[in-house]
Structure 1
């Protein structure tokens, strides 16, 4: 008999059992789990070093990157996936990876939502059995020789509770081709999972699934193309995994470079634009307030919702292209007014003498506290953060949070006041943040112990034209240290603009290198120098992911400090003035 029996909601049907691997912190599979071994490589996570393969993985939710669905698909197809997933709250990114495995490849695993209270009760158990919506937990592995039933084919149910238009039915019936038919099946399955009753037209798409996570990502895209896939709305592409024009000259191994480049070509063959940027909000096609989108890439989603006032869910890789192929998305979450309201109120004591490291640090810290809740931040009304500050804040927030957006009272478009952001309702939670809170996250991001460094990495997310201008001003007339590489990633369009403005020439005279099409979360050796055991960045997102992705320790600081370190070859490790202890006359933070 089980020690604990839970009746739960089955997100993806199936049966499995295995040793329980439990954590009370969400996990991003992209940058957090190695796609070819199943090892947890997020060095900030309590499961760091554990292997999820064959175990029942229990998480409160996912978090971070939309590419988690792609990593999970790789794990399922290469035999290193978990036996089952248990979550406290409905999880869309990981569930979508399983749905794609079922729909296209007849592989999969059960995904079950047990609720917050039951999830906490799983702590301390050693073994779990999942049978659709029934979860049984044991102190030790049962000896009853149980075997799961044969897996059912991955096709979606024949009937649906979602209202369909004539065009939807035509897509579902295959009258627009096999690719659109399968895409609509997946869209409807996700709509049911989300509880959506209808679909909406979307105006544009941004595809994150063009990131090469392994053979499964290319296999998926080629299958759609073989079935005649063609996007039905204007569609841009996220940063891919290589600089498509120069990866050979950069010394990238063809075993990686060729399929990574080919993946971008496959999506362009479906009709997507050659954009290759993780900051589509910097393109001329950036959406307007109220526009309904399907965007993937976590920082882009958060920026579109929070800063632009456009409307998109945090779409998983693969669901993004399915919606682009149909032009239809579930009407749920941030597509709805009520799905955009804050439920967490955060009061921030604004320090004096701020520099640009404040906003990514605050976003990183707040994301971990928010979980899946949308926050409204008060106390920054007089700070007037720039668009670059909001970009850095949002990218860091999206790294540690599962929420699709944030509000800053008096700054972001749907938060003229905290009351507006909360929809006139009291918050479910309220927090106050001060210097000591942020200091803890500063220390977490600064994992390097030695002051020496071999690389300054900038542009995660991709640099904007204004960031190029500011960096050029800091570097003009100077020269970097010969033992330090300074590499900037950015989109092709911004690179062309920076060339025309003279910033590229100034920065190349300093010794900087530019890489387009790809971004730091996809880069490794040799662009990351083999001799660089320590790096420095102004990106809280990359400071979080780099130790697991590339095995380097990190110095995190503002842009000016990064330039000084590039010149001296050393990170001085000094706290910024706004993080230093305040004097009695200034008051306590």
Structure 2
């Protein structure tokens, strides 16, 4: 790789052994990827504070600096960790104090996470604790080079915001935070950001449920390629686009999509494909829509619902407000739990607006920092859950061994207050 003078100095130890280890990791990483240079970033989003038994053992053996060296720098070095060189935030992590007693999640992991937040916060990591950092202050601008983890955050940053990031890992983001550098390859390069497939919706795509199902079809169809989507698309809002992107990244591995006339790098269909000839469109019609719905609802047959999960990716304030309106004056079915996952910053706003009180009065919970898939924990005794998230319907049955129902917000609230799944495709 070609390094500039600043990068060579960091690699040679001019800014200390931790930064040198970080630069060594990035050089090895870049060479493995075939990158010929590094690019500058001032926006890193990683998982420094995520608790785990491995992290706990490293902290016991050598302290938090040792844990960072091993997990975030792939190094066995014994050195202090300096302040982050560039703005760096923590994405979603484990459950916090608000989940104590509600889940089988170990209290020791909550305590470890709290200690981690203190250490990393003092070293320049902003603890946002959400998979949707763009909802709570981390909003990169078009063309900005970022180093982000978390598939749904990455696809939103690339597609909706027009920022540039690959789907990074724990080590590469740990190194990027200390250096302000990341290998310049993949989505950082303009020539790799043009569309590869054309998907045409022949049925209306309007609202959260429909954008999620359409996204699941798109991801399954193109896998890790770059879809351009057109057709009968009604104008989406923030929640629709984050749900669409999360679904494409779950059923496939999409990191970038274009919606001509909507997403910033695709003012036209020609622009989306970089001036190249358009491929033959792949049709999403009634049959394909039905097949997606049946796939997402083919993971069980018991209609008794123990648990309803909303907010994946983390719920927006509008989504929390909509759930509160539907739950006003109602009570959850005995033995059925309802959780709404959201960033802690938005939970504060929901509290202030009275939404949390309405949801809590009905028997539900507004929880923060994590989700059942990330923390691998659901209410004790859960056998069947319902969700409006294609991503959670895709992952949670495999992670926790439970059955899943997927449907609209209305279907999920109905399941929460009746204890039964009565949803269906309309």
Question: Common fold, TM-score beyond 0.5?
Answer: yes
Pairs within 5 Å for 1:400-411: 400-411=251-262
Counterpart of 2:363 in structure 1 is 511
Instruction: Give the 3-state SS of the residue equivalent to 2:204 in structure 1.
Output: coil
Instruction: Give the 3-state SS of the residue equivalent to 1:351 in structure 2.
Output: strand
How large is the RMSD of aligned CA atoms in angstroms?
2.2
Deviations along 1:125-182, one digit per CA (max 9) or x if unpaired, are: xxxxxxxxxxxxxxxxxxxxxxxxxxxxxxxxxxxxx221221111101121222111
Q: Which of the numbers 19, 30, 37 marks the counterpart of 1:198? A: 37
Cα distance in structure 2, aligned partners of 1:487 and 1:469: 14
Report the Cα offset of residue 513 of structure 1: 0.7
Report the Cα offset of residue 318 of structure 1: 1.6
Report the Cα offset of residue 430 of structure 1: 4.0
Counterpart of 1:207 in structure 2 is 46
Q: Does 1:172 align with 2:23?
A: no
Report the Cα offset of residue 196 of structure 1: 2.1
Q: Which of the numbers 277, 294, 299 marks the counterpart of 1:443? A: 294
Deviations along 1:178-221, one digit per CA (max 9) or x if unpaired, are: 22111111111222223222222112111135434540697497
Instruction: Give the 3-state SS of the residue equivalent to 1:567 in structure 2.
Output: helix
Instruction: Give the 3-state SS of the residue equivalent to 2:405 in structure 1.
Output: strand
Cα distance in structure 1, aligned partners of 2:332 and 2:147: 41
Q: Does 1:560 align with 2:410?
A: yes
Counterpart of 1:339 in structure 2 is 192
Report the Cα offset of residue 425 of structure 1: 0.8
Contact 1:209 1:318 in 2 (8 A): no
Counterpart of 2:73 in structure 1 is none
Report the Cα offset of residue 450 of structure 1: 1.3
Report the Cα offset of residue 264 of structure 1: 4.2
After TM superposition, the structure 1 stretch with the greater mean CA deviation from structure 2, 256-265 or 405-414, is: 256-265
Cα distance in structure 2, aligned partners of 1:203 and 1:178: 21
Counterpart of 2:139 in structure 1 is 286
Report the Cα offset of residue 559 of structure 1: 0.8
Counterpart of 2:248 in structure 1 is 397
Report the Cα offset of residue 391 of structure 1: 0.6
Give unmatched runs, 5+ long, in structure 1. 1-161, 578-589
Counterpart of 2:332 in structure 1 is 480
Cα distance in structure 1, aligned partners of 2:135 and 2:57: 27
CA 218–279 in structure 1, closer or farther in 2 if over 3 Å, else same: farther
Counterpart of 1:543 in structure 2 is 393
Pairs within 5 Å for 1:55-66: none
Contact 1:247 1:257 in 2 (8 A): no
Cα distance in structure 2, aligned partners of 1:454 and 1:419: 49
Contact 1:343 1:429 in 2 (8 A): no
- TM-score where L is the length of structure 1: 0.66
Question: Which has more helix, going by share of residues?
Answer: 2
Contact 2:172 2:182 in 1 (8 A): no
Kindly tell me the number of residue pairs found equivalent between the two proteins: 410
Contact 1:289 1:309 in 2 (8 A): yes
Contact 2:407 2:424 in 1 (8 A): no
Instruction: Give the 3-state SS of the residue equivalent to 1:318 in structure 2.
Output: helix
Deviations along 1:68-109, one digit per CA (max 9) or x if unpaired, are: xxxxxxxxxxxxxxxxxxxxxxxxxxxxxxxxxxxxxxxxxx
Cα distance in structure 2, aligned partners of 1:328 and 1:478: 52
Q: Does 1:569 align with 2:419?
A: yes
Report the Cα offset of residue 314 of structure 1: 1.3
Report the Cα offset of residue 431 of structure 1: 1.6
Cα distance in structure 1, aligned partners of 2:287 and 2:84: 49
CA 482–378 in structure 1, closer or farther in 2 if over 3 Å, else same: same
CA 345–550 in structure 1, closer or farther in 2 if over 3 Å, else same: same
Report the Cα offset of residue 514 of structure 1: 1.7
Counterpart of 1:242 in structure 2 is 95
Instruction: Give the 3-state SS of the residue equivalent to 1:349 in structure 2.
Output: strand
Give unmatched runs, 5+ long, in structure 2. 70-77
Give the structure, 1 or 2, with the largest relative contact order (CA under 8 Å, sep 6 or more): 2
Instruction: Give the 3-state SS of the residue equivalent to 2:126 in structure 1.
Output: coil
Counterpart of 1:489 in structure 2 is 341
Cα distance in structure 2, aligned partners of 1:399 and 1:209: 23
Q: Which of the numbers 235, 239, 254 marks the counterpart of 1:384? A: 235
CA 182–380 in structure 1, closer or farther in 2 if over 3 Å, else same: farther
Deviations along 1:4-51, one digit per CA (max 9) or x if unpaired, are: xxxxxxxxxxxxxxxxxxxxxxxxxxxxxxxxxxxxxxxxxxxxxxxx
Counterpart of 1:413 in structure 2 is 264
Counterpart of 1:457 in structure 2 is 309
After TM superposition, the structure 1 stretch with the greater mean CA deviation from structure 2, 438-447 or 305-314, is: 438-447
Report the Cα offset of residue 279 of structure 1: 0.5
After TM superposition, the structure 1 stretch with the greater mean CA deviation from structure 2, 536-545 or 478-487, is: 478-487
Q: Which of the numbers 205, 220, 229 marks the counterpart of 1:368? A: 220
